[in-house]
Amino acid sequence: MSFAESPNRILYFCSMVFLLVSPNALKAGAKYKDLYKRPTQIPYPASNTYSDARMILGRTLFFDPRLSGSNWISCATCHNPAFSWGDGLAKGIGHGMKELNRRTPTILNLAWGELMFWDGRTESLEEQALGPVASTGEMNLPIDQLLAKISKFEGYQVLFKGAYPEEGITKDTVSKAIATFERSVVSGKAPFDRWIEGDETAISEKAKHGFTLFNEKALCSQCHSGWRFTDEGFYDIGLVGDDKGRGKILPDIETLQYAFKTPTLRNVDHRAPYMHNGSEASLKKVVDFYNKGGDVSRGSKSEHIKALMLSDEEKNALIAFLKTLTSNDAATPVTMLPR
């Protein structure tokens, strides 16, 4: 009697199929869905409320290379919308074409962010906005020179008057305008969001399995939580290197040595390479890195970084899920630079 003709084997095969596609199996990740629902509006601080004029001014400044000492580096040079607001490089390139120490982080969905930069050294987008501009290694333009430079352009005078009519062109209004634009950079609805909202056909069964693994066996949600898939925390994940990250700012806290901010996973498959140092070339490499529990062991290493024992099938399911977080976002319009 062949396999197909064996009653016992047919019964066994059917039971396995039932386990794979039964309603209970399909809804395995349902209990986590409420944890990932998108917010309905963008938060703006009372000290820098939204207006179209402020957003347009901020967008103009963001794409203007004259905000650098060389006149060729803009904020968008490193935070390129075509690379999910990164630059596609292992490490950023700054003034004089010199390589920086860390990979460029995305500005995607930072309206909900808390501490900025990989090491959390600033507390708001307003405080963050001009840091790279003034940095000698990055855009290399002292703020007093920046203000003098853009004040010469009648077009900027008009834009600032419309955005901040009582404040003029100052360090604060420049930083507030850029922050307003950055808050408007929000990822659109992805297949994952449509699934969360009830469309069971929006993602594959493989991806649904990956979502369950993400929240359970793979331990990803311990840090990549919430609709942006980041808890805004800082962790040592066991990467090789001398960069202490948050630990350089808070040297007395052991768990923050070699610790870096948890990045968002929205549109993550458009932002290779990965990690703060660009050391992992693909999502597969990232999953392999976590599956083995990192590359180094030390006292500061997060307790969540340990060997996961994921099978190849499970790793592929996890990657399939991560790809459902990518949205097809509208192109960002670029305005003519002021003269």
Q: Write the pLDDT tens digit of every residue in 222-264.
A: 999 999 999 999 999 999 999 999 999 999 999 999 999 999 9
Residues in Cβ contact with 99 at an 8 Å cutoff, skipping those fewer than 6 apart: 91, 92, 93
Kindly state whether residue 328 falls inside one of the protein's structural domains: no
CATH code, 251: 1.10.760.10
How high does pLDDT run on average in the chain?
92
**280, 306: one domain:** yes
Kindly state whether residue 14 falls inside one of the protein's structural domains: no
**30, 128: one domain:** no
61: tokens are 């400044």
Amino acid at 79: H
Taking every pair of Cα atoms in the chain, the longest distance, rounded to a whole number of angstroms, is 90
Kindly state whether residue 334 falls inside one of the protein's structural domains: no
Q: Mind listing the pLDDT tens digit for each residue in 289-331?
A: 999 999 999 999 999 999 999 999 999 999 999 999 999 998 8
**Domain hosting residue 200, numbered range:** 24-40+189-323
Kindly state whether residue 329 falls inside one of the protein's structural domains: no
Residues in Cβ contact with 172 at an 8 Å cutoff, skipping those fewer than 6 apart: 126
Q: Is 249 helix (H, G, I), strand (E, B) or coil?
A: helix
Kindly state whether residue 222 falls inside one of the protein's structural domains: yes
Place of tokens 């969540």: 304
Given 123, 155, 183, the domain boundary residue is 183
d(CA 296, CA 305) in angstroms, rounded, equals 10
Residue 32 is classified by DSSP as G
- Which has the closest alpha carbon to 123: 261, 242, 276, 238? 261
- Answer whether 246's CB lies under 8 Å from 260's CB: yes
**171, 53: one domain:** yes
How many separate domains does the chain show? 2
Q: Is the pTM of this model over 0.75?
A: yes
**300, 196: one domain:** yes
d(CA 85, CA 161) in angstroms, rounded, equals 28
